[in-house]
Amino acid sequence: MSILIENISKHFGQFQALSPLSLNINEGEMIGLLGPSGSGKTTLLRIIAGLEGADTGRIQFGDRDVTNLHVRDRRVGFVFQNYALFRHMTVADNVAFGLEVLPRKERPSATEIKKRVMHLLDMVQLAHLANRFPSQLSGGQKQRIALARALATQPEVLLLDEPFGALDAKVRKELRRWLRGLHDELGFTSVFVTHDQEEALELSDRVVVMSNGHIEQIDQPGALYASPNSRFVFDFLGNVNVFEGRFEEGKWHNGIANIERPNTAEPKDGQLYIRSHEFFVSPSPTDTASLPLRIIAINPIGAEVRLELTPIDWNSNEVWEIDLPHKAFDKNCFEKGQTVYVTPKAGYFFAADAEKPILLNWEH
Amino acid sequence: MSGNKHKMRVGDSPWVRRTLIGLTLFLTFILLVVPLFSIFQQAFMKGAEHYFTSLVEADTLHAIGLTLVVAALTVPINLVFGVMLAWAVTRFEFPGRKILMTLLDIPFAMSPVVAGLLYLLLYGNNGWIGSWLYDQDIQLMFAWPGIVMVTVFVTCPFVARELIPLMQQQGREDEEAAVILGASGWQLFRRVTLPNIKWALIYGVILTNARAVGEFGAVSVVSGNIRGETNTLPLHVQLQYEDYQAAAAFASASLLAMIALITLLFKAFVEWRQERSLKIESDKEKQVTQ
C-alpha cells in the first residue's frame, strides 16, 4: 500500500520535533529514514503508525485517509527497537496475539491460528522455539519473533524502529539480507529508521536523510552517495575530509597548505569535501596540492589500510582519514609519525555562499 | 562460589563485625520477639479454655466480623484506585502529574489521628458535607461507613506505591505493541499490563490488608467506640484492657498478631515467587548463551 505524508509537523513543548514535511512512499517500496538522534526520524515513524498524533498535516494509506484513525484500526505492523515481546507469553503466544485479539467474527478458529503461527515461525526459521519464553532467546532470535508477530495480521505496511540497533555486526548483516528477502517476497511497504548509513544504503530502495525535524534529501542509495546535496548529508554519510580554503591566485589556501582549483570550480572561498579513498599519498608535494600531514595511526581494515592523519601548520576541525589499497600502502612503507603529502583525485566544492556542491576532478 | 568465603571487606575488624551483629540480634530479640511471645503468653494466662471463651464472646465476635468487613471493602477499593492512579501517572503526561504523586504520600506523612479528625470535621453531623448528609438521613461518622472511609484514606498509597516504580521501569512499549496489534483497552490491560504487574499488585494488596486490619488511630476518632456496633478489633483490644480484662484483651490481640504473622508468611512467599521468576529467566538465558 502506498503512503502519502503531507505537511506533517509535530512539537513537544517548546521543541519542534518535525517541521512541516511531505513524503510519498510507493507501494512495495522499502524506505530508510536516516539521521542522527533528535532528527525526528522516530517521531515520523510513530506518527505514521498512529502512536503519536501530528499537529498539522495529513496521512493517507492508499486511498484511505488515516490521519484521525486510531492506532488499533490502522492495521500496521510495527517492530520496536527493543522488540517489546510480551515476556510472560511463549514465542507462539506472542506471535498469535494479533490474531487472538481480533473481534470474534473476524477471528480465525483456534486450530487455524495455530497453523498460521507455525507457518510464521517457519518463515522466520524459529519453529523449534515455539514454546520458549522471550528471555530465553538471543537478540537476533527476538528480532525475528518480533517481526513474525508484526506480520501475523498480514499488514500492508511494516514499520521498523532501529530494527538492528541492538545486535552485533555479524547477526545484523545476516538479518538485513533476510529482511530484504522477506520484503521482496511478501511485497509489503516498509519504512525503517536507522542512524547507520551503511544499513540505510544497503537495505532501502530510497533513503530519506533527516536532520533537525526536516528532510535533507530523498534519493536512491546510489544517487545519494554520488551526489549528496548538502553539507549535512556529506557529514552524515561520513568518510569525508573537509578542507576549508581561502581562494587566492588560482589556489585554495589554508595555513601553509594549498590545493589547485580545477577550471570547473568557481574562483571563491569555500569548503572542499573529499572522500577518504579519493587521495594519493606521496612523500613530497605534487603539482596539484601541497597538504602536509602527520600519520598518527595505521589500521588495516579489510581490503584497505586506513591512515589517520593530523594537519601540519594548517587547520582542520577533525582528524583526516585516508583509505589506501594494500598495494599502494606496501609500496611506500609509511610509518606512524611520518610526514606525508596527500593529493585529491576527486571531490566536491561548496562555495561559501552556496547551498549545493559542485563536483570536481583533478587531472593527473 | 569463591566469593562467599571472602565476604569480609578489607579493613573490617572482626570486632566491629561481632559487635554490630550481636547488638542487632539482641535488639531484635527484646524489641520484636519478646513482645510477640508475651502476647500469646498473656493471652493464655488463665488457661486455654478462658482464651477460647473470651474469643467467642458476642462483642469480640462482632469486632472480628466488622474488622473483616472493613478490610474486605477497603482492599478492592484501593486496588482499583491504586491501579488507576499508577496507570495515569506512568502512562500519561499531564499538568499536575508530579504534584499528584506527591499528594499520594499524604496518608503516610500525616498522623492517622489527624486524618480521622479531618473526616470527622467534614462528614460529622455538624460538618460541612455531614450536615447536608444528615438532612438526607445519611450518617457516615460513628458508623461503619466512616470506618471504611478513613481506612481507605490511610491505606490508599500502598498499591500505587508498589506499582508506580515497576510500571515506570517497564515503560509503555509492551502496551503500544499490543495496541498496534489491535488489542482493545480491556484486552490490553488483562493480557499485557496485568501479567506484567501481577506480583507487585499482590504485594501491595497484602500491605493494604495488613494495615486495614490493624489501623487504630484514624478509626478510633470516627468510630465512636460503640461496643458491638462500631468496634473494630484493635479498638476492642483497648476497650477490654481498660475494663481490666487483661487476658481477654490479649486473646483479641493474639488474633491481630496471628494475622500479622500470616501476612509476613504470605509476603515472604510472594517475594520468593518474584525472585524465582526472575532467577529462572536469567538461568535460562545463561543456558541459551552457553
Q: What average pLDDT does the segment A315-328 reach?
A: 89
pLDDT confidence of B126, banded at 50, 70, 90?
A: confident
Provide the 3-class DSSP secondary structure of residue A148: helix
- Judged against a pLDDT cut of 70, whether residue B276 lies above it is answered with yes
Q: Is residue A83 part of a domain?
A: yes
Element (H, E) at A220: none
- Judged against a pLDDT cut of 50, whether residue B290 lies above it is answered with no
The CA distance from A98 to the nearest CA of chain B, in Å, is 5
Nearest-10 crossing angle of helices B194-214, B144-155: 130
CA angle B157, B160, B165 (to 5 degrees): 125
Classify strands A240-248 and A64-65 as parallel, antiparallel or unpaired.
unpaired
Q: Is residue A136 part of a domain?
A: yes
Q: What average pLDDT does the segment B28-42 reach?
A: 92
**A309-348 CB burial, b ≥16 within 10 A, e <16:** bebeebebeeebbbbbeeeebeeeebeeeeebbbbbbebb
Output the pLDDT for position B287.
Answer: 52
* Half-sphere exposure of residue A182: CA atoms within 13 angstroms, side-chain side: 19
Q: Are residues A98 and A206 in the same domain?
A: yes
Output the pLDDT for position B1.
Answer: 42
The CA distance from B194 to the nearest CA of chain A, in Å, is 10
Report how far residue A95's alpha carbon sits from residue A147's, in angstroms, rounded to the nearest whole number.
9
Cell numbers at B119, concatenated? 473526616
- Judged against a pLDDT cut of 70, whether residue B285 lies above it is answered with no
Query: Which one of B181, B184, B285 has the shortest CB-CB distance to A97?
Result: B181
Taking the CA atoms of A306, A310, A311 and A317 in sequence, report the sign of the dihedral they define.
positive
Q: Is residue A234 part of a domain?
A: no
Q: Are residues A29 and A149 in the same domain?
A: yes
Q: What is the CATH number of the domain that holds A278?
A: 2.40.50.140
pLDDT confidence of B279, banded at 50, 70, 90?
A: low
Q: Are residues A221 and A244 in the same domain?
A: no
Average pLDDT of chain B, as a whole number: 88
pLDDT confidence of B236, banded at 50, 70, 90?
A: very high
The answer to whether the beta carbons of residues A288 and A342 sit under 8 Å apart is no
Q: Is residue A74 part of a domain?
A: yes
User: Model confidence over B127-157: pLDDT tens digits?
Assistant: 888 888 888 888 888 889 999 999 999 999 9
Query: Which one of B182, B282, B285 has the shortest CB-CB distance to A72?
Result: B182
User: Model confidence over A172-225: pLDDT tens digits?
Assistant: 888 888 889 889 988 899 999 999 888 999 999 999 999 999 999 999 999 998
pLDDT confidence of B2, banded at 50, 70, 90?
A: very low
Q: Are residues A279 and A195 in the same domain?
A: no
Residue A288 is classified by DSSP as: S
Residue B169 vs residue B26, higher pLDDT: B26
- Judged against a pLDDT cut of 70, whether residue B235 lies above it is answered with yes
Contacting residues for B2 by C-beta, under 8 A, at least 6 apart: none
Q: Where are the beta strands (DSSP E) in A195-345?
A: 206-211, 214-219, 240-248, 251-254, 257-260, 270-275, 279-282, 289-301, 304-311, 320-325, 339-344
- Judged against a pLDDT cut of 50, whether residue B112 lies above it is answered with yes
Report how far residue B219's alpha carbon sits from residue B205's, in angstroms, rounded to the nearest whole number.
20
Compare all CA atoms of chain A with the CA of B281 and give the residue at the minimum distance: A135
Q: Are residues A221 and A258 in the same domain?
A: no
Compare all CA atoms of chain B with the CA of A133 and give the residue at the minimum distance: B281
Average pLDDT of chain A, as a whole number: 91
Provide the 3-class DSSP secondary structure of residue A342: strand
- Judged against a pLDDT cut of 50, whether residue A166 lies above it is answered with yes
Which residues in chain A touch residue B184, judged by CB atoms under 8 angstroms apart?
A: 72, 101
- Judged against a pLDDT cut of 80, whether residue A238 lies above it is answered with no
Output the pLDDT for position B232.
Answer: 92
Output the pLDDT for position A111.
Answer: 93
Output the pLDDT for position B283.
Answer: 58
Q: Are residues A214 and A291 in the same domain?
A: no
The percent of residues above 90 in pLDDT, for chain B, comes to 58
Residue B32 is classified by DSSP as: I
Residue A35, classified by CB atoms within 10 Å of its CB into exposed (0-12), middle (13-18) or buried (19+), is buried
Report how far residue A10's alpha carbon sits from residue B216's, in angstroms, rounded to the nearest whole number.
53
Compare all CA atoms of chain A with the CA of B198 and give the residue at the minimum distance: A88
Query: Which one of B173, B191, B192 has the shortest CB-CB distance to A80?
Result: B173
User: Model confidence over A38-80: pLDDT tens digits?
Assistant: 899 999 999 999 999 999 999 999 999 999 999 999 989 999 9
Output the pLDDT for position B6.
Answer: 53
Structural domain count, chain A: 2
Nearest-10 crossing angle of helices B246-289, B233-242: 150
Q: What average pLDDT does the segment A79-91 reach?
A: 92
Q: Are residues A207 and A243 in the same domain?
A: no
Report how far residue B58's alpha carbon sits from residue B53's, in angstroms, rounded to the nearest whole number.
10
Interface test with A, best of B97, B173, B180 (most A CBs within 10 A): B180
Q: What is the CATH number of the domain that holds A187?
A: 3.40.50.300
Classify strands A157-161 and A189-194 as parallel, antiparallel or unpaired.
parallel
Query: Which residue among A206, A228, A250 closes a domain?
Result: A228
Q: Which domain holds residue A282?
A: 239-361
Complex ipTM value? 0.82
Report how far residue B29's alpha carbon sits from residue B163's, in angstroms, rounded to the nearest whole number.
33
Q: Are residues A21 and A47 in the same domain?
A: yes
Report how far residue A32's alpha carbon sits from residue B65's, in angstroms, rounded to the nearest whole number.
66
Report how far residue A214's alpha carbon sits from residue A230's, in angstroms, rounded to the nearest whole number.
13
Q: Are residues A248 and A220 in the same domain?
A: no
Query: Which residue among A171, A203, A228 closes a domain?
Result: A228
Q: Are residues A148 and A276 in the same domain?
A: no
pLDDT confidence of B289, banded at 50, 70, 90?
A: very low
Classify strands A358-361 and A157-161 as parallel, antiparallel or unpaired.
unpaired
The answer to whether the beta carbons of residues A277 and A238 sit under 8 Å apart is no
Cβ–Cβ of B173/A82 closer than 8 Å?
yes
Q: Is residue A216 part of a domain?
A: yes
Q: Are residues A92 and A125 in the same domain?
A: yes
DSSP letters for A223-235 = HHHH---SHHHHH
- Judged against a pLDDT cut of 50, whether residue B254 lies above it is answered with yes
Query: Which one of A84, A101, A136 has the shortest CB-CB distance to B182?
Result: A101
Grid coordinates 445519611 are at which residue?
A: B138
Output the pLDDT for position A301.
Answer: 83
Q: Is residue A22 part of a domain?
A: yes
Q: Is residue A275 part of a domain?
A: yes
Query: Which residue among A228, A259, A291 closes a domain?
Result: A228
- Judged against a pLDDT cut of 80, whether residue B284 lies above it is answered with no
Q: Are residues A215 and A291 in the same domain?
A: no
Cα torsion through A301, A306, A308, A313, rounded to 10? 180
Q: Is residue A311 part of a domain?
A: yes
CA angle B212, B218, B219 (to 5 degrees): 65
